[in-house]
Amino acid sequence: PFTVELHRSGRTIEVAAGETTLAAVRRELPDTPYSCEQGFCGTCQHRVLAGEVDHRDTLLTDQEREDSMLLCVSRAQDDHLVLDL
């Protein structure tokens, strides 16, 4: 489990071990777009402001990985991420 701070919304959410970052974000922000939920379409890509991401997608370039993540498959490497959401 880890926490995600939604910087623009001013909220912090918990992501449980058995759920995706996307599912946790959508509890707070139900309009957050997604499609494939498997890390290949890019619909759920969002900017990461702080924290190390455990990237589990097959789409993003190394450069994109420096400051963004796919919410449907990727997680925090440590215990906290800050997203521009």
Site of interaction with ligand FES (CB under 6 A) = 34-37, 39-44, 70, 72
Contacts of 6 (CB under 8 A, 6+ apart): 12, 13, 25, 28, 29, 83, 85
Least distance from ligand FES to the Cβ atom of residue 7, Å: 20
Contact 54, 21 (CB under 8 A): no
CB of 20 to ligand FES, least distance (A): 9
- Identify which of residues 42 and 80 has a Cβ nearer to ligand FES in the complex: 42
Q: Which is nearer to ligand FES, 10 or 58 (CB)?
A: 58
Q: How far is the CB of 38 from ligand FES (least distance, A)?
A: 6
Nearer to ligand FES, 10 or 83 (CB): 83
